[in-house]
Structure 1
Amino acid sequence: MLIGGISVLNLLLTMAVIRKLRDTASTGAGRAAPPDLPELPAGSRMPSFHGEAVSGEIVSAQTTAGSAAVFAFFDTGCSACKPTVPKLIEFARKNALPTGQVIAVVGDNDGNASEYVDELGGTATVIVEETMGSMARAFSINSFPAFVIAGADGVVVRSGHGGGTLAAGIPA
């Protein structure tokens, strides 16, 4: 008798858990946004940085101040990076961002950055540097692809790895 009662209780609890999981999945509740980069979480100040674009333009905290911006970090040796480039381009187009507000940093130790430069040209200000170069170090990037979205006030709005970071719009 005791075993039968425990079995019925176990069955009822299991059914309640399954119902709750189905409700959560259908409403979208519990679906977390991609986590922020621990080194640059939302609400933190943008780091001091300085880089030179392939066009010769200098990119720094001062040149991007006063405008919202997205910083994308790729590496030519990263297999997950190439598929996120179109997501960055689409993000820039949807948010009508000029090239000065879309900064793409390409780590390149093997001389293959031209593919990225060609694809991102006209959409982003592209900086090519050695893997884990000065820009990546300034932003504490330790893996690729990585994205940092900053507001015009110089505060990080969102950061993370992968194209999911670009799912929401950019602040005005």
Structure 2
Amino acid sequence: MLVPIALTAIVVSCLSVALTMSVALRVKKTLDPLIEEGMFQPGAAPEAPPTVPTGTPLPAVGEMLDSEGRPVTLPTAQDGPWILTFQSVTCSGCKAQLPAYRQYLQQSGLPRERVISVISGARAELGPYAAALGDLATIVHDDDAKSLADHLGVRIWPTYLVVSPDGTVGHSTESVGSLPELALSTRLDEVVS
């Protein structure tokens, strides 16, 4: 009589351990990409909202070079609103949003010169970004625009900014789906509304 009870207890214990391990591994799988992208730091208190605040002025930028080594000039006021993004070669969320970002840029019709994508990580790993966005955006390696990300306080990748003609951030988000409709004829008041 004790043998079936003991066997049942052992089976139930094994199932309990297996279930606990399964839950722990699922939680780890969910949190690892978020920790990698800087959204969570173990033991740290949550910070203020992660996006760059609206109205933040862009710093004066020295010479920047694109991924092909060509000089890059930031759009001027008469060019209207433009897009500035910060992505990383190690960011799974950045890579996951690339198709939607490409579609957004195609629909906006903005010229390549009015879309600047600053990519951090190993310069040799820019290939997927150049392949996905190179015809729609100017790709700049983070080393060639370091002061820009630091000055704006970018600490989450991806970060998508719509820059107003006055050189300030008009819209800020970490999701392509939250970007406003933007086209060649877009006026500033349409961007911030």
- Could you say which TM-score interval applies, normalised by the shorter chain? 0.5 to 0.7
Query: Residues of 2 paired with 1:135 and 1:105: CA distance?
Result: 9
| Paired residue secondary structure (2:118) | strand
Query: Residues of 2 paired with 1:57 and 1:152: CA distance?
Result: 24
Query: Residues of 2 paired with 1:52 and 1:99: CA distance?
Result: 14
1:68-147 correspondence to structure 2 within 5 Å: 68-109=81-122, 111-130=124-143, 133-147=146-160
Q: Which residue number in structure 2 is paired with residue 46 of structure 1?
A: 58
Q: Which residue number in structure 2 is paired with residue 28 of structure 1?
A: none
Which has more strand, going by share of residues? 1
Which has more helix, going by share of residues? 2
Deviations 1:12-39 (Å, cap 9, x if unpaired)?
xxxxxxxxxxxxxxxxxxxxxxx772xx
Aligned sequence identity (%): 23
Check if 1:59 corresponds to 2:62: no
Cα gap change, 1:104/1:48 in structure 2, threshold over 3 Å: closer, same or farther? same
RMSD across aligned positions (CA) = 2.4
> TM-score, normalization: structure 2?
0.60
Q: Which residue number in structure 2 is paired with residue 154 of structure 1?
A: 167
Contact 1:147 1:165 in 2 (8 A): no
Structure 2 unaligned spans of 5+: 1-48, 188-193
Deviations 1:91-113 (Å, cap 9, x if unpaired)?
22222100001111111237311
Query: Residues of 2 paired with 1:146 and 1:100: CA distance?
Result: 19
> TM-score, normalization: structure 1?
0.67
Offset of residue 74 of structure 1: 0.8
Q: Which residue number in structure 2 is paired with residue 18 of structure 1?
A: none
Contact 1:36 1:158 in 2 (8 A): no
| Paired residue secondary structure (1:126) | strand
Query: Residues of 1 paired with 2:56 and 2:142: CA distance?
Result: 25
Structure 1 unaligned spans of 5+: 1-34
Query: Residues of 1 paired with 2:131 and 2:151: CA distance?
Result: 25
Structure of higher CA gyration radius = 2
Contact 2:85 2:117 in 1 (8 A): yes
Query: Residues of 1 paired with 2:146 and 2:164: CA distance?
Result: 24
| Paired residue secondary structure (2:122) | coil
Offset of residue 44 of structure 1: 3.0
Q: Which residue number in structure 1 is paired with residue 8 of structure 2?
A: none
